[in-house]
Amino acid sequence: MSSEHKKTDVILIGAGVMSATLGALLKELAPDWNIKVFEKLAGAGEESSNEWNNAGTGHAALCELNYTSEKPDGSVDISKAVKINEQFQLSRQFWSYLVQHKLIRRPQDFIMPIPHMSWVEGEKNVAFLNKRFKALSQNPLFQGMEYSEDPRKLKEWVPLMMEGRTSQEPVAATRITSGTDVNFGALTRLLFDHLQSRKVEVHYRHAIKDIKRTGDGLWKVKVHNLSSGQTESHSAKFVFIGAGGGSLSLLQKTGIPESRHIGGFPVSGLFLACDNPEVVERHHAKVYGKAKLGAPPMSVPHLDTRYINNKKALLFGPFAGFSPKFLKTGSNLDLIGSVKPNNLFTMLAAGAKEMALTRYLIQQLMLSCEQRMNELREFIPNAKSGDWKVVVAGQRVQVIKDTPDGRGTLQFGTEVVSAADGSVAALLGASPGASTAVHVMLEVLSKCFPQHIKSWEPKIREMIPSYGIPLASRPELLKDIMASVNQTLGLGEEEPQKQANFR
Ligand SMILES: Cc1cc2nc3c(=O)[nH]c(=O)nc-3n(C[C@H](O)[C@H](O)[C@H](O)COP(=O)(O)OP(=O)(O)OC[C@H]3O[C@@H](n4cnc5c(N)ncnc54)[C@H](O)[C@@H]3O)c2cc1C
């Protein structure tokens, strides 16, 4: 066993889409800074960011019903949907900048246009969808959204979903063609190729075991080289913990006061996947339904067209479940190991409050194959078991923390936790996830580099023209940005040739 001590400016822990995005932003803003990345697996984008471990939806609130709620006066609150859409616009602009400057190539390898649809059944839900449509379609961010209750129209939009439908319940859908399918695994790999070409040292099969502050204000990380078996020591002025489900335990090791009273609740997921071309070719949309009563927001059922490795596929799910692991490649001791004296009461309070959620997850875990197929048949009435196989998705670790709403409150969003001096930051939580990576990493930059952010702003605006601007209130700017980004990323009108490459 040997120990070396090597200094650098920045250490990024984990080679997922978050570290990739932060690394790519920093390489443009501070090109001279030395950056090292440590990843315990053998490649980039192997955990949650992998294409088969998430649903690949470019979350822009075009179809996700859980981003709009009904207010007590019966009107629909679209503020969250507007916020998420604007955050996704930041990601699109940054990806477009990278493509335009040939820092990453072939956008069709990671982003494809696909209609986004919301789908509901039953009178009450139809009335809600109609109100939601009216509220959203007046906003420039959601321009082009269509609504229909007409079975003929719906058959045109989603033939597979209408075939064999016998229920007398009214159905309705909204459809917007500016939606996207994003292969976050491919994007992560492209970003890491770019970083390596810019002299970023990326060390695969290197697991971070400990993080401690040194006397001179640096952070020292203890790294286990899984190939050689040796333990190394590296230090940096700034450490970003982008370890996905592994972030909480590493954040706890820093000992910063901000890491206290935070816990994690793992939710596992399964998808049903179909690659039978006869079925796949008859569906062309991401269709999001309504969460079942008592189900958490991340288990909203959806049927998605996916573009993965030059092939089209359909994905349905996710079926949530419970596993004590914090990463798909994690350990059964992750949950128990995350309980510390400083978060014990937070965790116990959450446990007591979230019994219904735990029961729901266990119930989901116990579903038989046929029960899962029956849930799919609510979307595709004629679905045949032989066409679908189970795919194990990534783990999501939901944040538990004490809030004004009470001790041990489960959070469904993402949280950047950083030290007061900005020398270390961790990303916790999973939703809306990879789609908002650019927005979240810009938040890391402004929290951790307040002394640089002003001088970086002109470059940030060059890369991301709507940075700091609420696009919903600037329709002309939105139109210009959309047109330019669509052209660079190949997202205009769906090009038949482009679609044909994926058969
Ligand atoms: C079922 C499911 C569906 C989802 N659907 C969507 C969607 O449709 N759209 C969307 O935008 N988002 C979606 N998400 C969320 C999205 O996948 C995540 O937000 C995103 O991938 C997180 O990226 P990350 O870089 O933080 O984590 P990851 O991609 O998990 O990367 C973290 C990396 O850190 C490494 N690591 C962990 N511990 C250590 C250690 N000690 N030392 C070294 N390396 C370490 C891991 O091996 C891993 O490679 C979904 C997630 C799930 C689970």
Q: Report how far residue 92's alpha carbon sits from residue 287's, in angstroms, rounded to the nearest whole number.
A: 21
78 Cα–ligand 1 center, Å: 27
Question: Are residues 390 and 368 in contact, defined by beta-carbon separation less than 8 angstroms?
Answer: no
For ligand 1, mutation pick of 13, 37, 47, 399 (most atoms within 8 Å of CB): 47
C-alpha–C-alpha distance, residues 173 and 118, integer Å: 5
Write down the domain spans for the chain.
10-461
- Ligand 1 centroid to Cα of residue 244, in Å, is 5
**CA of residue 28 relative to chain centroid, distance:** 23
Size of the chain, expressed as the number of residues it contains: 503
User: 106: alpha, beta or left, given left = phi > 0 and alpha = psi -120 to 50?
Assistant: left
Are residues 58 and 181 in contact, defined by beta-carbon separation less than 8 angstroms?
yes
Which residue ranges have their beta carbon within 6 Å of ligand 1? 13-19, 38-41, 46-49, 53-57, 59, 184, 207-208, 242-244, 246, 250, 269, 318, 327, 393-394, 396, 427, 430, 432-435
CA distance 257 to 260: 6
Strands 424-428 and 415-418: antiparallel
Beta bridge partners of 222: 210, 233
Vertex 414 angle, CA 477 and 40, to 5°? 115
Instruction: Tell how far the Cα of 395 is from the centroid of ligand 1, in angstroms.
Output: 8
Alpha carbon of 319 to ligand 1 centroid (Å): 18
Residue 171 phi, psi dihedral angles, 5° rounding: -125, 155
For 214-358, list the strands marked E by DSSP. Answer: 219-225, 231-241, 262-274, 286-288, 302-308, 311-321
Bond prior to 318 in cis (omega within 30° of 0): yes
Which residue, judged by its Cα, is nearest atom 2 of ligand 1?
54
How many other β-carbons are positioned within 10 Å of the β-carbon of residue 323? 18
CA distances from 263 to 295, 339, 350, 398, 409 (A): 21, 7, 9, 8, 10
Residue type, 314: L
Position 218, amino acid? L
CA–CA distance from 214 to each of 220, 321, 359, 418 (Å)? 6, 41, 45, 17
How many CB atoms lie under 10 A from the CB of residue 176?
20
- The residue among 333, 394, 35 whose CA lies nearest residue 191 is 35
Which residue blocks in 118-243 are alpha helix, DSSP H? 123-137, 151-157, 159-162, 184-197
Output the pLDDT for position 1: 44
Report d(CA 358, CA 337) in Å as an integer. Answer: 19
Phi then psi for 46, rounded to 5 degrees? Answer: -100, -20
CATH top-level class of 10-461: alpha beta
Q: How high is the pLDDT of residue 51?
A: 97
Q: Are strands 35-38 and 201-203 parallel, antiparallel or unpaired?
A: parallel
Output the pTM of the full model. 0.94
161 touches 94 (CB < 8 A)? no
| pLDDT score for 493 | 59
Angle made by CA atoms 45, 310, 157, in degrees to the nearest 5: 105
Q: Could you write out the DSSP letters of every residue in 58-95?
A: --SSSS-GGGSEE-TTS-EE-HHHHHHHHHHHHHHHHH
Other CB atoms within a 10 A radius of the CB of residue 80 amount to 16
- How far does residue 90's CA lie from ligand 1's centre (Å)? 19
pLDDT value at position 413?
Answer: 82
Per DSSP, the three-state class of 501 is coil
Check residue 4 and give its pLDDT.
57
Our CA angle for 228, 219, 43, nearest 5°, is 40
Give the list of residues 6+ apart from residue 96 with CB closer than 8 angstroms, or none. 484, 485, 488, 489
The torsion of the CA quartet 247, 445, 12, 31, rounded to 10 degrees, works out to: 170
Burial 463-493 (b: 16+ CB within 10 A, else e): bbbbbebebbeeeeebeebbeebbebbbbee
> Per residue of the chain (503 residues), what is the pLDDT tens digit?
445 568 899 999 999 999 999 999 999 999 999 999 999 999 999 999 999 999 999 999 999 999 999 999 999 999 999 999 999 999 999 999 999 999 999 999 999 999 999 999 999 999 999 999 999 999 999 999 999 999 999 999 999 999 999 988 999 999 999 999 999 999 999 999 999 999 999 999 999 999 999 988 899 999 999 999 999 999 999 999 999 999 999 999 999 999 999 999 888 889 999 999 999 999 999 999 998 776 776 678 999 999 998 899 999 999 988 889 999 999 999 998 999 999 988 888 888 887 777 777 777 878 888 999 999 999 999 999 999 999 999 998 988 888 888 888 888 788 999 999 999 999 998 778 999 999 999 999 999 999 999 999 999 999 999 999 999 999 999 999 999 999 999 997 555 445 555 54
State the helix-helix crossing angle for 17-29 and 450-463, rounded to 10 degrees. 90
Q: How far apart, in whole angstroms, are the C-alpha atoms of residue 230 and residue 223?
A: 8
Copy the structure tokens of residue 500: 């044909």
Q: How far is the CA of 43 from the centre of ligand 1 (A)?
A: 13
Cα–Cα distance, 250 to 279 (Å, whole number): 44
Residue type, 191: L
Atom index in ligand 1 nearest the CA of residue 250 equals 41
Q: Which of 238, 272, 173 is nearest to 418 (CA)?
A: 238
Distance CA 102, CA 107 (A): 10
Ligand 1 atom closest to Cα of 436?
11
pLDDT at 430: 77
